Structure 1
């Protein structure tokens, strides 16, 4: 589908079909899926994107929306790329009736609060951003007090709330998708090894819920200090190793760096991925993970990254640099605002418009905002085969009822 064709798409219910470039973000915006499908990009703010002057405006339309990102301080390189992506979205949308007020949050809560105050004072009807959880909380207090909605880019579901929506791929959705597909393929008994980290805390509760919801058996969950999985593997013992292993799937939600220690320890303990399928989240989407023997045949959930290719090509042609994966957050957000402004008039940013249960369809799949703030996403399931990922279950085109 071309960009032009995508923008001419009809409605899903009352929700506009958009040709977007959705994103997988690591904790608080770190990139987790890269330019290829599905090649990775390391987390962090590194980018060669041109750094624009702090603040400024993009577009000349009558509808004002603020973009709050770090253009100085921590994360400034990513913020610059997101500002560039917003400009690209305006260009791709062929000059919509939209004006983006770009505000620098300096990568800090105080800066985010001040940026939000300036955005409201300047007449912004909605605020896009910030990127980091603490900054989202600071900005949301200002924006919500003014009766305006905020669409943030953090992947910390804890900062979501009514009127504070998250445009990001949340790890909870990835957990649900890989567990659902595992059960559908015949896996009935699950074990887990989860690192003692904020990410581990976020996914453990969702894993327990997903296994229970599917009527599967939870054999055991072991937590381990980051970088030291051996004791946890020892405690699991025969539950995950040997021909009589009680689990037929092992959840391993660790980063590529963490898995570089976990996988060899599993192999040493006699773990056989042919008997107990390893499963994970989009943090697996990295060549270092694909090369690990203990994870061959493993499954993980992530977006179909093909849509990012077109965005990356246009971005490189326009700005002369490869965008960080999170740049698509700003591109998506601005494209969505432009489409809603065109389709829904005075109700463009109403809660009922933003939270339509049919959601919005983008290049990387369908997404929607829940009334309480988090988002649902349509994800693909990949299998690691001979050191490379292959889609075994494509991302669905429509989303089922939330929480099912």
Structure 2
């Protein structure tokens, strides 16, 4: 018999520890959650002492291991996927723009490893204060705006006063430009989401980072409705779960509860479905680490996933391209991990 019990962590490490104690006391054989990495750190010692495995919803790989498995979306996998796809399409020189916080630094570490591993070149990396009211300075730096603007003005000055038709035509053309000179990168990874992403993206063409010449790349934080409302992001690529299975889940959820599900609802759903599958196995030891970390993986509402021996999760991700109204899959997610390996 499969029973699902709920205990409130109160969003704190102490609350998570108490919830884990209650779960163990109720005879839980597997703990699903919590979400926050600090809460996972609170619950993990209690679960380990009782020999109970944990499938947490966190995306912090540092809390994984020794009986704790993390099902959250890991930035490294998203970065690997989109950089690998970009390299397969001939992109060679990469730059990255990220918030100066744990998430941004994690993305940049993954970015450096992915670009080098794929044989690309890292042209530029910039961090910005996520609490800043204005991101103009960092975007100006990323754009080499001062140098390129000065180059343009110098060229205009050389042409001014010349009377030949060729010089006049060249000057007329230069007067339509903001800057002069190409950027040293072919693609720019902007590792943010929500209002900060919109604010940063709006500044890119303003400082003459032309999305028609520089391919915009993103992480799973781009995977939100209305991403194409910002013109600078249209045409950009990002890696995320294939939207098809999730769309079906969202419809079922909204039909049942009358509202759209939170984005992380699919993680909880997949964890529960996995627990239900394991519960049907014969014998008393149905929730061992070996069974949870089945190399063949599982098919969930966010596509295929499996747990690695270290406790982190691996997912089959699609690559999507931003359009004005939505995003469309341009490189499908693998259907099996055998396909991912080939």
- Normalising by structure 2, what TM-score? 0.83
Q: Is the 8 A contact 1:379 1:396 kept in 2?
A: yes
Which residue of structure 2 lines up, in the alignment, with residue 364 of structure 1?
302
Q: Is the 8 A contact 2:227 2:326 kept in 1?
A: no
1:188 aligns with 2:92: yes
1:294 is displaced (CA, Å) by: 1.6
User: What is the correspondence of 1:172-251 to structure 2 with a 5 Å cutoff?
Assistant: 172-226=76-130, 227=132, 228-238=134-144, 244-251=182-189
User: What is the correspondence of 1:26-41 to structure 2 with a 5 Å cutoff?
Assistant: none
Structure having the larger proportion of residues in helix: 2
User: What is the correspondence of 1:338-353 to structure 2 with a 5 Å cutoff?
Assistant: 338-343=276-281, 345-353=283-291
- Matches of 2:323 and 2:330, distance apart in 1: 11
Tell me: CA distance 1:242–1:386, structure 2 relative to 1, closer, same or farther (3 Å).
farther
1:369 is displaced (CA, Å) by: 0.8
1:276 is displaced (CA, Å) by: 1.1
1:235 is displaced (CA, Å) by: 2.5
Which residue of structure 2 lines up, in the alignment, with residue 120 of structure 1?
24
Q: Is the 8 A contact 1:271 1:294 kept in 2?
A: no
1:289 aligns with 2:195: no
- Matches of 2:284 and 2:76, distance apart in 1: 33
For structure 1, which runs of at least 5 residues remain unmatched after alignment?
Answer: 1-60, 62-97
1:223 is displaced (CA, Å) by: 0.8
Greater CA drift, 385-394 or 199-208: 385-394
- Which of 162, 181, 194 is the matching residue for 1:256? 194
Q: Is the 8 A contact 2:270 2:301 kept in 1?
A: no
Q: Is the 8 A contact 2:143 2:209 kept in 1?
A: no
Which residue of structure 2 lines up, in the alignment, with residue 384 of structure 1?
322
Q: Is the 8 A contact 1:126 1:150 kept in 2?
A: yes
Tell me: CA distance 1:210–1:216, structure 2 relative to 1, closer, same or farther (3 Å).
same
- Matches of 2:338 and 2:181, distance apart in 1: 37
Q: Is the 8 A contact 1:292 1:387 kept in 2?
A: no
Cα distance per residue 1:282-329 (max 9 Å; x no partner): 211234431222222110111112212332333334334432222222
- Matches of 2:250 and 2:325, distance apart in 1: 25
- Matches of 1:161 and 1:229, distance apart in 2: 38
Tell me: CA distance 1:302–1:107, structure 2 relative to 1, closer, same or farther (3 Å).
same
Q: Is the 8 A contact 2:143 2:208 kept in 1?
A: no
Q: Is the 8 A contact 1:224 1:231 kept in 2?
A: no
CA RMSD of aligned residues (A): 2.3
The SS at the match of 1:135 is helix
Cα distance per residue 1:316-353 (max 9 Å; x no partner): 34334432222222221121111112235434211111
Which residue of structure 2 lines up, in the alignment, with residue 85 of structure 1?
none
For structure 2, which runs of at least 5 residues remain unmatched after alignment?
Answer: 149-178
User: What is the correspondence of 1:52-71 to structure 2 with a 5 Å cutoff?
Assistant: 61=1
Which residue of structure 2 lines up, in the alignment, with residue 138 of structure 1?
42
Which residue of structure 2 lines up, in the alignment, with residue 329 of structure 1?
267
Q: Which has the higher contact order (CA 8 A, sep 6+)?
A: 1
- Matches of 1:387 and 1:335, distance apart in 2: 32
- Matches of 1:243 and 1:307, distance apart in 2: 45
1:167 aligns with 2:105: no
- Matches of 1:308 and 1:388, distance apart in 2: 15
Tell me: CA distance 1:138–1:311, structure 2 relative to 1, closer, same or farther (3 Å).
same
- Matches of 1:351 and 1:371, distance apart in 2: 8
The SS at the match of 1:346 is coil
Tell me: CA distance 1:314–1:401, structure 2 relative to 1, closer, same or farther (3 Å).
closer
Greater CA drift, 204-213 or 337-346: 337-346
- Matches of 1:318 and 1:387, distance apart in 2: 27
